[in-house]
A and B are shown apart, each in its own frame.
Chain A
Amino acid sequence: MVGYAAGAPLGTSIERGELNIDYLELVAYTEVSGTSVQSVSFTGLDLDTDRAYLLLGFGREDSTGAMNVGLQVNGDTTATNYYVQWLLANNAAVSSTRSNNHYLFSTSAAGQFMFNIWILATDQTLANKPRGNYQASEPSSSAANAWSGTWVWDQNANVTSIQVMCSTAHLGTYSRFLLFKVIQ
């Protein structure tokens, strides 16, 4: 039987008389300041050990033009090593496709966006291609967009770093990211 103690932190469980604490640990919080950047890179990771990462992001394009936002790992900047399948809702219009690059979504000039992605490691013996599911949005009073999709890095390897990689160098100041891992 699994029960949850009243008033316990989220994820705290009592199982067979033992106190098991499974929760997400914030391993990184960072904010772009001083200058716009093209990429935000988290280093010192080990997906095989940590099993899963949750990356949350809030960002803004610094008013230059449309920008694509994507995810790369291990410094692999070859866009064609990634595949994304996505569904986009824009007002009453819905579109979908599979793209052979790392882009999760796009933002318009001066647009502000949010996204989250779970990145999971599969078993080493079963072609350990890291995969992720994500949601992204560009909330706006006039032209809101919402994405839902899945991402894969087409390589059989552990993930030791994660890069939020944009199509232009206009990921503006005040953009912020939170990276969590699972504690078992």
Chain B
Amino acid sequence: MKAKVLVYDVKTKKQEIVEQEIPEMPSFDFKKPLDPDKVKNVLLNAGLIADISEVEA
């Protein structure tokens, strides 16, 4: 897709906004809730819980 890009050349000190073909960028959720199963496994492996049922309760 075409996207606007501000290009700054450090050698000439000149800048311009151009249209460039760039692929669609992926989305990423920095605040995605933690996977409950992964959290349980971390707690289990760290010895903080004896079994999963403690978390389920």
Contact = CB atoms under 8 A, between A and B. Distances in A.
Q: Do A and B come from one complex?
A: yes
Majority secondary structure of chain B interface residues (helix, strand, loop or mixed)? loop
Given A38-B22, A44-B10, A103 B28 contact: yes
Contact of B10 (A28, A68, A166): A28
Given A30-B15, A79-B25, A95-B34, A41 B4 contact: no
Given A36-B4, A43-B7, A43-B10, A68 B17 contact: no
A37 B5 contact: yes
Interface of A: 27-28, 30, 32, 34-45, 68, 77-79, 86, 88, 90, 95, 99, 101, 103, 105-106, 145, 147, 163, 165-169, 179
A78 B20 CA distance: 15
A28 B28 CA distance: 29
B6 A30 contact: yes
Interface of B: 3-13, 15, 17, 20, 22-23, 25-31, 34
Given A44-B11, A45-B10, A35 B30 contact: no
A39 B22 contact: yes
A40 B6 contact: yes
Given A40-B8, A41-B8, A169-B4, A34 B17 contact: yes
Contacts of A30: 6, 8, 15
B17 A37 contact: yes
A36 B4 CA distance: 8
B25 A167 contact: yes
Given A44-B11, A77-B22, A95-B34, A32 B28 contact: no
Contacts of A28: 8, 10, 13
A167 B10 contact: no
Contacts of B7: 41, 43
